[in-house]
Amino acid sequence: MALGTGFCERSKHDLMDIAGNSMAVWQRATSKSYRGYPKGQTNRITIADVIALPKVLPSIEMVSPMLNKSATLSYMGKAYMKGVWGVTADHVKLAKLKIATGGRFFIQIDVERQARVAVISNKVKQVFFGKNGNALGAKFLIDGVSFTIIGVLADDEKNKLDRDEDVFISYKSYQEMYGDKYIEKYFFVVTKPNVSTMQAEQILRSYFAGKYNFDKNDKEAMGFWGSSKIQESISWYLLGIQIFLSVCGMMVLAVGSLGVANIMFLIVAERTYEIGLRKAIGATDQQIFLQIFLEVLVIAVVGGIIGLASVFLTTTFLQHITLPAWIGAPKLSWLTAAIAFLVLALIELVTGFFPARRAAKMDPIEALLT
């Protein structure tokens, strides 16, 4: 349960680190007729309208259109077919990309000047320049157009937005090359810290409904995928993992409790004469039952305390050694400890009952003759 708690907290942290206040937005067909327009209309959002969002909507902090084409990359006779993405200068912050030492992402002045500069992934760099080669400042071709490499994604980049083998250029350079005016796939927005993604959905839907003539209450007209939906969709998965690990822990406790029950049955068998003698001199069935039952509880309590102490020492040790980042740090909370102790107590109540009842039901004469 401590491992499950640590893993789930790490997973939620990583998800929020990736998503933050970002949200993917795309256009879909309308599901309602509106002002003479029939339902089923697909609104083609222009790149210019997306770029203008931070200026016209105070709740939007950053945007980046995700313009994409599969392109032929070439350098010194080598050719490589990979995706080229046209994005804004803010994309490096929006996607939390890490650039290797010595390089940089393009800045706003590069975008305005339509500078032919590019940022490549580490895998693309290795194809053209080898693992230890220097790509910075080199010129290569994207569909026959020369670009200068100004940055390479860091080798430890975790491919947060599935861009491990792609190339980034400014959206204006992309438009100059391919002539795109519309968002064909999707675009990203980052909201201000005090604006939730749910609020941003309503704001964006209302804004684009006014520009493209569709009902602002038509939730099918635009698609949104933000951190709130990511967290909602993943929470059940993480809860399932915690339940699975908890059940595994309970099964271990159950196996241990069966061992205790078997030991107590053996102890009862070995103490048959003693139990018969006690009953012969006046001990009641209830007294015999309580004696054996309390012995089981003492074993369970002592074992539980030792077990929890061992867990505390183990989790403390694991927190101070290097584990794979995705595992997280095992965390033993008071709630976890209380649940484990409660489960142990319930199991021991059941497993302690039967040896105690067997001892209580012994016939004293048969016990003395055994």
- What is the predicted pLDDT for the residue at 157? 46
pLDDT over 70 at 334, yes or no: yes
Q: Which two tokens stand for residue 236?
A: 């059940």
Helix axes 272-280, 285-319, angle to 10 degrees: 140
Token pair 């002592």 is at which residue?
302
Helix (H, G, I), strand (E, B) or coil at 35: coil
Q: Average the pLDDT over 72-82 and give the result.
A: 92
Distance CA 243, CA 256 (A): 20
The full DSSP string for 90-108 is: THHHHTT--BPTT-----H
Which neighbouring-strand residues pair with 60?
Answer: 191
Query: Residue 365 corresponds to which amino acid?
Result: I
Helix (H, G, I), strand (E, B) or coil at 135: coil
- What is the predicted pLDDT for the residue at 161? 46
pLDDT in tens, 266-290: 877 777 888 788 888 888 888 888 8
Query: Residue 149 corresponds to which amino acid?
Result: I
Note whether 4 and 327 are within 8 A (CB): no
Q: pTM of the entire structure?
A: 0.62
Residue 75: which residues within 8 A CB-CB, separation 6 or more? 128, 129, 138, 140, 141
- What is the predicted pLDDT for the residue at 273? 82
- What is the predicted pLDDT for the residue at 46? 94
Query: Residue 353 corresponds to which amino acid?
Result: F
